[in-house]
Amino acid sequence: MILTDIMKYIESEYKVINNTPCEICGGDYEANELEILVINDETYDICQCTCSLCGHEKIFEFPAPFLNEEYLKYKDNIN
């Protein structure tokens, strides 16, 4: 259930990315890498994207507060 929620969240992020035109050429961004970062106890979903037309790179940052608890739990489990 948690995983489903996270997937839904990431899906909605991809929608934002797909609806954002490249600021250089107006092309579509493609997501390359998705990573979760914790900055000052705030969880962020960082998505590195590249324009499929001109190759312009853009970093999308999404605050992901609900990931915080689960992510830290997950981290605790590996340690």
Binding site for Zn ion (CB under 5 A): 22, 24-25, 27, 51, 53-54, 56
Q: Which of 1, 17, 12, 2 is nearest to 66 (CA)?
A: 2
Tokens representing 71 are: 């992510």
At position 66, the amino acid (one-letter code) is F
Q: Between 51 and 64, name the residue whose CB sits nearer to Zn ion.
A: 51
CB of 40 vs Zn ion, minimal distance in Å: 32
CB of 24 vs Zn ion, minimal distance in Å: 4
Q: Between 27 and 31, name the residue whose CB sits nearer to Zn ion.
A: 27
